[in-house]
Amino acid sequence: MVKKQRRNPSRMLHKIKAKQTNSRNLKMLEHVSCSDLPIIFVSVEKREESYQSSISYIAPSIKWARRLHDERSILELFDDNSKWHIKHQLERSAIFELPITYEARLDGEKDVYVSINLNPVINDLKVLTWSGMIVDITEKKMHEISMQQEKAFLEELFEVNGNLLCTTDLSGNLLRYNESFKSILGFEDVVLSADEFWPGILDAGAYELLKTKVKQLDRKSKYQSVTTNVNTRYGQKTIAWTLSKVKLKEDESESIVLSGVDITLQRKTEHDLNLTNEQLKTKNTQVERVVTLQETLFSIFEQLRNTKTHKDVYELISTEFASILEFRNLFICLKENKRSDTFNFFDLNREFTQMDKNLYFVEQKGILGQVINKKEAFFSGDVKKEDTYIVHDERSNSILMVPIVFNDFLWGVIGLDSTEYNAYDVIEIDMIKLAASHISLYFEELESKNELVAEASKLRKLHDAFSCILNERTDDEIADHIIGQQLLKHLAVYRSFDDDLSLVSDASNEDIPLVEDYAKAFVDHAMTRTTSRIQTTAGGTVYHLSHPVVNQEEVLGVLYSVKVTPFIAQETNIIAILADQLAVYWRLNQMIVQSKREALIDPLMDIWNRRYMIRCLEEEDARIKRYDGIASIALIDLGNFKEINDTYGHIFGDQALKIVARVLKANMRETDSVGRYGGDEFLILMPNTGSDEAQTVLERITEELNETPVISDAFFVTADYGIATIPEDTFSMMDGIRVADERMYRNKRSRKGKFIKIDME
């Protein structure tokens, strides 16, 4: 039999070694439940002036846990006094690498107290963090507070309570008594003899003790004290008596003065306090037991990642369990991987190893077979009474078997038995379940690593594809490049225009019996979410998969793929990654186009600025020289615009400019360009336009300006313009501006301008 090794409770919280903590393993603790252990596993990292907490496990029994979440400063949990002390200890721990132990009260929570136990740990990034646990000690703390309150109440009660006072002769006959004596004992104003009074309120033993104390006066001391139970009209009370002799007159005999204090409530309180202390000791023992179990669990979690084989796992579990549990035999059976149908068996006493394993794993008989079949833990405190029990050793009386399960997949079973009846309590069973859950998480992680290796090749291809995309310039070129990488055999890219989808690029899918209308409706539906669907056609079954291309809640398009075989998880991930990256590149192109446009637009009138118009003139100059073309330009000046600003202010002046710009844009062809040349001057470029056509356009503009609706007839503006045609008037666009400018000012001087009515409102 393996004997249980006891640990020193005062050192339990300081024995956790400061090792590097694997964040993935701790995060997996969130999948684990342990209803009877009020524990929170937490890690703390200092970020600038804040201590950010990361929660890896919270016991469901902790009601205030809703206040906890990752990336919150641990100091925010506590009241101001506790916050200062915890911060001081963290700063001190960071310097001297000392563990932190502190009892604190939660901020904003009514009577919630916790014990904080943290150890400094250097993580994989060589950053100092703290890792440990928070234990809810509210019940213990409330017991202490309640005890203190009861003591204070008792002290106050002694101060204000009046004493009983009476005098007797040396024979004990009652002579006089005060009101407290009457009210507490409940007697009327009568004088009773000693033989009548004292036996009436005291039992025989107490009466004899009282007489003995009277006899001892002067012989041993001037005062004697005794405590007796007194039978009163209101029931039995406990009175603490103080006796002394007095002589009031020389000619009188001595009297006995008895001063009594009713300590009934005190004795009851003492009894209650003793009972509370015993309960508190029991609770403290339970808390110490929980901490010991949690320490062992933490040790298992830390060391598990260093195991290489199933045998290493078994030796770790058997060694750690031996320090906290009493068992006769311990065994573990484990699967090699998820594709394996057999179990590796490890048995301390080689009892299960030597038995027919088909009996349990194939026929699923016995308690072990039942656990394998149902994937549920089993415990019996008297196993010989169980019908399903197959005897493996006559000395076994208790047996516990816990499945190692993750997402309904059975990795194995942990089993213990003991010669003791009811050998394991609920806390110990929950601890073993927690260990089994973490072992399953560990094996699941190993399995995931193998899957990650298989996906590494695809990820490299994705990286190469996105690296090449950086060299593309247009949205269509980016889409064509993604299609060309052939990460999926049949892939199409759709672009969203005015809430409609248009095909941008696609790979050949001639071997797919695709119904086009069905696919189009499917792609339209995919603008809001990732969708997969199976379609049955005359040519066979077709599998559709689509993913929206979304950036900042704006749907830019859809990625669509189709196959004759089901999509695997890796393909679903690829199309999601492609959609996310495509959204980023498309959005970047939108921002570039928008930025270029904003740099060339006059912000007041929403027409081209001078820089853009000069660029247009240069491009048109090159076109005319290359193709022997023709073009006209016009300059327009608002004759008395300064008077508007001086009379009505710049706000109305800006409004006048906007009205003129709106009329000019409305009369331009798609190939024409209009922009602000400077101040209140406008420049118009009309490619492939002769002087007569240009004159017609300017007259039409002038006519429309005169017909523009106004709010009031407050003011009229004169518009003067000049036209130059290339190559009729000059051979250069820039020289054409000079010609148009001279003609505009000649018109202004000859007062040939047109009157424009402006809305001054």
Give yes or no for a contact between 233 and 185, defined as CB atoms under 8 angstroms apart.
yes
Pull the structure tokens for residue 742: 């001279």
Q: What gap in Å lies between CA 233 and CA 637, rounded to an integer?
A: 118
Helix (H, G, I), strand (E, B) or coil at 703: helix
For tokens 């150890």, name the residue.
119
Residue 228: which of 198, 191, 250 has the closest Cα? 198
Pull the structure tokens for residue 334: 């484990």
Q: What angle do CA 179, 184, 185 make, to 5 degrees?
A: 100
- By the 10 Å C-beta count (0-12 exposed, 13-18 middle, 19+ buried), 355 is classed as middle
711: Cβ–Cβ under 8 A, 6 or more apart, which residues? 759, 760, 761
Q: What gap in Å lies between CA 436 and CA 483, rounded to an integer?
A: 47
Q: What gap in Å lies between CA 676 and CA 610, rounded to an integer?
A: 6
Q: What gap in Å lies between CA 618 and CA 626, rounded to an integer?
A: 12
Pull the structure tokens for residue 294: 């949690």
Beta bridge partners of 118: 100, 132
Q: What gap in Å lies between CA 84 and CA 99, rounded to an integer?
A: 17
Distance of CA 518 to the CA centre of its chain: 41
User: What is the Cα Rg of the chain in Å?
Assistant: 48
Q: What gap in Å lies between CA 711 and CA 717, rounded to an integer?
A: 15
Give yes or no for a contact between 721 and 682, defined as CB atoms under 8 angstroms apart.
no
DSSP H helical ranges for 166-263: 179-185, 194-201, 204-216
Pull the structure tokens for residue 199: 């036996």
Q: What gap in Å lies between CA 304 and CA 25, rounded to an integer?
A: 10
Cis peptide before 687 (omega within 30 of 0): no
Q: What gap in Å lies between CA 119 and CA 100, rounded to an integer?
A: 6
Give yes or no for a contact between 483 and 503, defined as CB atoms under 8 angstroms apart.
no
Q: What gap in Å lies between CA 472 and CA 505, rounded to an integer?
A: 15
What are the φ and ψ backbone dihedral angles of 422, each rounded to 5 degrees?
Answer: 50, 50
Residue 760: which of 708, 682, 725 has the closest Cα? 708
Is position 680 annotated as part of the catalytic site? yes
First to last CA, the chain: 101
What are the φ and ψ backbone dihedral angles of 643, each rounded to 5 degrees?
Answer: -65, -30
Biggest alpha carbon–alpha carbon distance for the chain: 157
What are the φ and ψ backbone dihedral angles of 230, each rounded to 5 degrees?
Answer: -120, 130
Q: What gap in Å lies between CA 233 and CA 238, rounded to an integer?
A: 13
For tokens 């704006």, name the residue.
554
Cα atoms in the Cβ-side hemisphere of radius 13 Å centred on 45: 14
Pull the structure tokens for residue 649: 């202010």
Helix (H, G, I), strand (E, B) or coil at 368: helix
Question: Of residues 347, 417, 475, 680, which has the active-site annotation?
Answer: 680
Sheet (strand 754-757) strand order: 601-602, 607-608, 673-678, 681-687, 631-638, 716-726, 754-757
Helix (H, G, I), strand (E, B) or coil at 622: helix
DSSP state of 555: E
Distance of CA 577 to the CA centre of its chain: 25
Residue 380: which of 758, 388, 372, 719 has the closest Cα? 388
- Residue positions annotated with a catalytic role: 680
